């Protein structure tokens, strides 16, 4: 899938509530798994298709984020939604910090650090 977000993504795992109106105008609520998050958007995993262009509310703890579904793709056993936050709506760890949050850039830095360290003789035994 083509990278669509300009901001750094943080990998995460957290259950959130997704609320939207379906094409018939009925309000729907779904439990969604938060896959990744950036300043301007999220990727959510859900069990049912959500139409592109749909306005959504993502509720977590005592807060919410508002946005628009930019893509909805079926992969393996579920749907993955790309949601762009509304203008003026930004994510911050000060307001919402998922329980499991990882910056992939930290993994790259750690791998580079390990590569630059000389191997110990015991590693070859």
| CATH classification at residue 54 | 2.40.10.220
Would you say residue 123 lies in a domain?
A: no
Query: pLDDT for 1-60, tens place per residue?
Result: 455 546 777 777 889 999 999 889 999 999 999 998 888 999 999 999 999 999 999 999
Q: What share of the chain is helix, strand, coil (3-state, %, to 5)?
A: 15, 45, 40
The structure tokens 């977000």 sit at: 5
pTM: 0.73
Residue 14 corresponds to which tokens in the numbers above? Answer: 């957290």
53 within some domain: yes
Q: Count of domains in the chain?
A: 1
Q: What is the pLDDT of residues 60-108, one digit of tens each?
A: 988 899 999 999 999 999 999 999 999 987 776 667 666 766 565 666 5
84: nearest Cα among 53, 51, 42? 42
């Amino acid at each position: 899938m083509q990278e669509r977000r300009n901001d750094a993504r943080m990998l995460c795992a957290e259950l959130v509530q997704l609320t939207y109106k379906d094409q018939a105008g009925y309000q729907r609520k779904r439990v969604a798994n938060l896959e990744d998050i950036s300043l301007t958007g999220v990727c959510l995993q859900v069990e049912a298709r959500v139409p592109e262009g749909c306005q959504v509310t993502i509720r977590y703890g005592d807060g919410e984020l508002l946005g628009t579904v930019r893509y909805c793709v079926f992969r393996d056993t579920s749907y993955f939604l790309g949601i762009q936050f509304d203008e003026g709506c930004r994510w911050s760890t000060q307001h919402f910090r998922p329980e499991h949050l990882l910056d992939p850039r930290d993994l790259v830095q750690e791998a580079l650090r390990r590569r630059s360290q000389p191997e110990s003789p015991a590693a070859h035994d």
